[in-house]
């Protein structure tokens, strides 16, 4: 265990402070907005809206428009290129975060500063209390750029906080921040095995990363066993800093190597791999909602009887809420909004005959209604004002005076041709229903995405599947029909019946296709830890469409509505 640098972490005090804060959420929100506007009143961006020093909620909402990333991109690009004038914030932005970028096809730049680090640390400590009661580069302007999580993890204040909480980490820093993902992953797994009896939590930013790590383990476990037996690191690891750090840990250990070999050889289809490798593990931790939900089945397979604890609600733009009920299954998790980390607004969404209709005006954090759905709009300390996050959430309850949110979907991730509106969640449910037809053949859907083909007349949905093995034409035709029937949106069903939307197309792609998409994402400057498989590939994302099209094995067309 690491030594305490400051006083011992007090979980009860952290939770107590949170309870007091959430009881006074409305007043705190007003103070946060006033502070943000006062600190940045001299910025180019805010001066143009005629606030004239006013910091009240009414004036702010009347003068400053609701915006998306595209609206702020020209300002952010100037900062990225080295402009130090007060563009979005009073103090110069020193660091840039990278969004996951898988929806648009490439990562986006997002301003980042120490206040966001403090917010992340607050979430981190609070989450830890409730649970236990990638590579940076320089922009043209000389700013360090990395994922939001990387910017937090590299921050000295954050590292100091982790040490005060006495959280042991099995991998050396050189491995954690290594420049080559595959080499770092190999060594992460090696370190985990070396310290297998001391591993208490298996964690990564996203559930996909954990699944990917153990899928990789299936392929390289014998090489790891050889390295441990001989005490000599594989030649596949070439980064000098990583090799040096690992040389201090890796010693010949035939007994450990034999233990791992026996356990891996005796596992049936790798079920329960994680507790077999790390017998003292208490739980698996990471983001498991939204686009990560499809990986839960595989993650539960590796986890065996270990509980899955969903991580907190954070984005590249900033933190939002904490999972205060970590024992709930990921599918049911909610997040209590922290009222002191940003100023929050919510755009109401109302369902009508053709989908979701959006209101023109926002409501405040304490004005949301139970059971209603909203799009999040927030203002933070790093230069985002009335920024549309693009996330749709549902109000599932309240923690004192602050709402508990359940993530529903990304607003812009929609399959739509006519009057149909199918979300990422609708797609996931359809894939789960159709995937049940593969059970008898002991197959599963490794990964999936979708595309709307409007070049055909009428347009139709294309669902891409990568499978764990080969299925018969009969089974895949059944899967295709089931997919088509599983989209229950009234606009879709009625459009299919009158042929305003054509027959759904199920396209099978080669094994490894989605790994090629991951490689493409990393090649654009993204980090593997941030990768999210895009569930709906839009027409602007031509490079992903090309990867999918070049790896087609066979296609099937639905006969469900014939």
Q: Which of 162-166, 391-395, 470-474 has the lowest mean pLDDT?
A: 162-166
113, 186: one domain: no
Residues 6 or more apart whose Cβ sits within 8 Å of residue 266: none
Q: What distance in Å separates the CA atoms of residue 11 and residue 130, rounded to the nearest whole number? A: 8
Residue in the structure block whose two tokens are 């904490």:
322
In this predicted model, what pLDDT tens digit does every residue of 512-551 receive, in sequence order? 999 888 888 777 766 666 677 888 887 777 888 999 999 9
Task: Enter the pTM of the model.
Answer: 0.75
Vertex 64 angle, CA 62 and 70, to 5° = 140
Residue 441 burial (C-beta neighbours within 10 Å; 0-12, 13-18, 19+): middle
Q: Which of 382, 410, 438 is the endpoint of a domain? A: 410
Query: What is residue 168's predicted lDDT score, i.e. its pLDDT?
Result: 55
Q: Which of 366, 392, 410 is the endpoint of a domain? A: 410
Is 317 domain-assigned? yes
Q: Is the model more confident about 114 or about 45?
A: 45
Query: What is residue 548's predicted lDDT score, i.e. its pLDDT?
Result: 93
- 157 has a pLDDT exceeding 60: no
Question: How many Cβ atoms from other residues are within 10 Å of residue 435's Cβ?
Answer: 20
Is 425 domain-assigned? yes
In this predicted model, what pLDDT tens digit does every residue of 204-238 receive, in sequence order? 888 888 998 999 999 999 999 999 999 999 899 99
306, 316: one domain: no
- 149 has a pLDDT exceeding 60: no
75, 108: one domain: yes
Is 161 domain-assigned? no
Cβ 205 vs Cβ 311: under 8 Å: yes
Is 146 domain-assigned? no
Is 433 domain-assigned? yes
343, 370: one domain: yes
In this predicted model, what pLDDT tens digit does every residue of 277-291 receive, in sequence order? 999 999 999 989 887
Q: Is the model more confident about 132 or about 195?
A: 195
Is 299 domain-assigned? yes
Domain of 544? 414-557
430, 402: one domain: no
Burial 492-509 (b: 16+ CB within 10 A, else e): beebbeeebbbbbbbbbb
Percent of the chain with pLDDT over 90: 49
Q: Is the model more confident about 109 or about 70?
A: 70
240, 299: one domain: yes
Cβ 46 vs Cβ 379: under 8 Å: no
365, 442: one domain: no
Residues 6 or more apart whose Cβ sits within 8 Å of residue 449: 463, 464, 514, 533, 534, 535, 536, 537, 544, 548
Query: What is residue 152's predicted lDDT score, i.e. its pLDDT?
Result: 40
- 413 has a pLDDT exceeding 90: no
Cβ 262 vs Cβ 293: under 8 Å: no
Query: What is residue 448's predicted lDDT score, i.e. its pLDDT?
Result: 94
Q: Which of 291, 310, 329 is the endpoint of a domain? A: 310
What mean pLDDT comes out for the span 137-152? Answer: 39
Query: What is residue 351's predicted lDDT score, i.e. its pLDDT?
Result: 53
Radius of gyration in angstroms for the set of CA atoms belonging to the chain, rounded to a whole number: 24
In this predicted model, what pLDDT tens digit does every residue of 332-348 receive, in sequence order? 999 999 999 999 999 99
In this predicted model, what pLDDT tens digit does every residue of 547-558 receive, in sequence order? 999 999 999 999
255, 370: one domain: no
Coil, strand or helix at 559: coil
301, 172: one domain: yes
pLDDT band at 176 (very low <50, low <70, confident <90, very high): confident
Say how many domains are in the chain: 3
Q: What are phi and psi of 272, to 5 degrees?
A: 70, 25
299, 176: one domain: yes
In this predicted model, what pLDDT tens digit does every residue of 466-508 receive, in sequence order? 999 999 999 999 999 999 999 998 889 989 998 999 999 999 9
Q: Is the model more confident about 40 or about 144?
A: 40
Coil, strand or helix at 416: coil
Element (H, E) at 14: helix 11-22
Is 64 domain-assigned? yes
Percent of the chain with pLDDT over 70: 86
350, 401: one domain: yes
281, 341: one domain: no
Residues 6 or more apart whose Cβ sits within 8 Å of residue 71: 65
Is 153 domain-assigned? no
pLDDT band at 106 (very low <50, low <70, confident <90, very high): low
């Amino acid at each position: 265990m690491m030594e305490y640098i400051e006083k011992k972490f007090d979980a009860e005090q952290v939770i107590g402070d949170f309870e007091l804060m959430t009881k006074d959420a409305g007043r705190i929100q007003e103070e946060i907005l006033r502070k943000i506007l006062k600190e940045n009143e001299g910025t180019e961006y805010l001066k143009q809206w005629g606030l004239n020093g006013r910091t009240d909620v009414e004036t702010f909402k009347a003068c400053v428009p609701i915006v998306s990333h595209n609206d702020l991109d020209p300002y952010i690009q100037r900062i990225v290129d080295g402009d130090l004038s007060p563009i979005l914030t009073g103090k110069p932005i020193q660091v840039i975060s990278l969004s996951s970028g898988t929806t648009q096809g490439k990562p986006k730049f997002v301003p980042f500063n120490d206040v966001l680090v403090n917010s992340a640390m607050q979430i981190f400590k609070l989450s830890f209390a409730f649970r236990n009661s990638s590579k940076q580069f320089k922009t043209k302007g000389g700013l360090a750029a990395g994922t939001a999580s990387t910017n937090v993890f590299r921050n000295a204040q954050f590292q100091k906080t982790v040490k005060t909480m006495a959280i042991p980490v099995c991998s050396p820093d050189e491995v954690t921040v290594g420049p080559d993902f595959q080499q770092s992953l190999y060594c992460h797994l090696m370190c985990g095995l070396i310290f297998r009896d001391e591993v208490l939590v298996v964690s990564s930013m996203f559930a996909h990363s954990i699944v990917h790590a153990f899928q990789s383990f299936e392929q390289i476990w014998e090489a790891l066993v050889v390295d441990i037996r001989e005490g000599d690191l594989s030649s596949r690891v070439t980064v000098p800093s990583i090799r040096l750090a690992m040389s201090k840990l890796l010693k010949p250990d035939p007994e450990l190597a034999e233990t791992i070999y026996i356990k891996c050889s005796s596992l049936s289809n790798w079920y329960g791999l994680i507790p077999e490798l790390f017998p003292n593990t208490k739980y698996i931790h990471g983001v498991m909602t939204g686009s990560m939900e499809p990986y839960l089945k595989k993650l539960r397979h590796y986890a065996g009887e270990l509980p899955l604890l969903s991580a907190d609600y954070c984005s590249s733009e900033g933190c939002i809420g904490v999972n205060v009920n970590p024992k709930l299954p990921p599918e049911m998790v909610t997040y209590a909004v922290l009222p002191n980390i940003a100023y929050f607004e919510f755009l109401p969404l109302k369902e009508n005959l053709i989908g979701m209709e959006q209101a023109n005006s926002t409501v405040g954090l304490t004005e949301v209604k139970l059971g209603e759905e909203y799009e999040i709009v927030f203002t933070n300390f790093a230069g985002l004002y009335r920024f549309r996050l693009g996330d749709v959430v549902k109000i599932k309850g309240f923690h004192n005076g602050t709402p508990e949110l359940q993530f529903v979907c990304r607003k812009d991730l929609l399959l739509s041709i006519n009057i149909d509106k199918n979300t990422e969640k609708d797609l996931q449910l359809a894939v789960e229903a159709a995937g049940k037809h593969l059970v008898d053949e002991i197959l599963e859907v490794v990964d999936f995405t979708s595309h709307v083909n409007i070049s055909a007349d009428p347009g139709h949905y294309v669902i891409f599947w990568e499978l764990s093995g080969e299925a018969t034409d009969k089974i895949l035709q059944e899967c295709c029909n089931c997919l088509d029937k599983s989209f229950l949106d009234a606009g879709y069903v009625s459009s299919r019946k009158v042929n305003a939307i054509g027959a759904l197309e199920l396209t099978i792609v080669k094994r490894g296709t989605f790994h090629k998409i991951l490689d493409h994402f990393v090649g654009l400057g993204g980090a593997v830890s941030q990768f999210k498989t895009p569930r709906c590939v839009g027409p602007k994302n031509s490079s992903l469409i090309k990867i999918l099209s070049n790896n087609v094995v066979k296609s099937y067309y639905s006969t469900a509505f014939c």
